[in-house]
Amino acid sequence: MKRSGHADLPLHGGRVPSWLAERMTRLGTAIAETIVVTYGASEFLTRLSDPFWFQAFGSVMGMDWHSSGITTSVMGALKRGLNPRAAELVIYVCGGRGKQSRKTPGELMEVAEQKSLRGDELVRSSRLTAKIDNNAIADGFQLYLHSFVVTDMGEWAVIQQGMNERTRMARRYHWHSPSVRDFTTSPHTGIVGESQGTIMNLVDREAVPAQTAMLSIAHEDPERTLAEARRLVMPSHHDVRPANVDLKRLGAVLAVAYERDLRDFASLLLVEDLGPRTLQSIALIAEVVHGTPTRFADPARFSFAHGGKDRNPVPVPL
């Protein structure tokens, strides 16, 4: 079964020492090579998209099994080890942490040109996965790492990580292209993490009416929507209050959306300057005006049985 999803991890400070980073690069590359040669590149992407296998992979490479650093160190090691051998192993690792993540579109276009792939589609997939996990799933985690792994046949996996500064936790999101039938309808499967109860999840399977209502708002005259927004009283059970709604930014985004005559919800998510707060504002307007629910149970499920060096979530039996 191909599983993808996300996992919550405690944030750990510090840096991976150079000697460990070098060993992780050599070992991770050797394991990846063995899997690719024995089972094929597609199987390696399948395993990367499984949060449980990924966690075990990081542990074997030398990182604390439950640390947020697994994500950055593993993907950094794979990029250093696999890209110089990409022509041989037909796997390319693009993006990374912080500034490196913003280089993903250019790196994808370069790979696409070399392998005659649809670069525009790869870049769109990269942007959508980031927009969905950062904006459409309001779980309190802001992305700071985005890694896009692609084969010479155009199959891809995305591993990205977000940070919640309040709880000092990180959440990792996994994607695999064969498992994504629709970007905006429950694109994650096999999700792992600590459930936070009810959250705004605009890509929940039951959020289709909300998506339709938001798209309807995008097709209306922005001035009419802004006039409605000024009169609205936001529901008390939402974390976005009238004072949080920036009508100027909201109006600018709605104007762009109106001019483009968007055809689907994914296109709305890709509108420039549409951040998480603006998207939440549109969602709440749609909920008040059209009665469409936007909040659902957090799909994350806690699964780890034992703790690590800091004894979380429970002490390891001696």
pLDDT tens digit sequence for 250-267: 999 999 999 999 999 999
Same domain, 168 and 26: yes
Same domain, 97 and 228: no
What strands lie across the sheet with 137-138, from one edge to the other?
A: 137-138, 198-201, 295-297
Same domain, 168 and 210: no
Mean of pLDDT values over 10-31: 83
For residues 293, 8, 143 and 263, what is the CA-based torsion angle, rounded to 10 degrees?
-30
As for how many domains the chain has, the answer is 2
pLDDT at 40 exceeding the cut of 60: yes
Lowest-confidence segment of 68-72, 122-126, 268-272 by average pLDDT: 68-72
> Residue 185: inside a domain, yes or no?
yes
> Residue 216: inside a domain, yes or no?
yes
The 3-state DSSP class for residue 164 equals strand
Same domain, 185 and 213: no
For residues 35, 39, 43 and 45, what is the CA-based torsion angle, rounded to 10 degrees?
40
Boundary of a domain, candidates 193, 213, 243: 193
pLDDT at 38 exceeding the cut of 70: yes
> Residue 314: inside a domain, yes or no?
no
The closest alpha carbon to 173, from 222, 133, 211, belongs to 133
> CB of 170 within 8 A of CB of 68?
yes
Phi, psi of 314 (to 5 degrees): -140, 160
Same domain, 85 and 183: yes
What single letter denotes the amino acid at residue 129? T
> Residue 310: inside a domain, yes or no?
no
How many CB atoms sit inside 10 A of residue 268's CB? 24
Same domain, 172 and 231: no
The domain of 24 spans 6-193
Rounded CA separation 271/293 (Å) = 22
Output the average pLDDT for the chain: 86
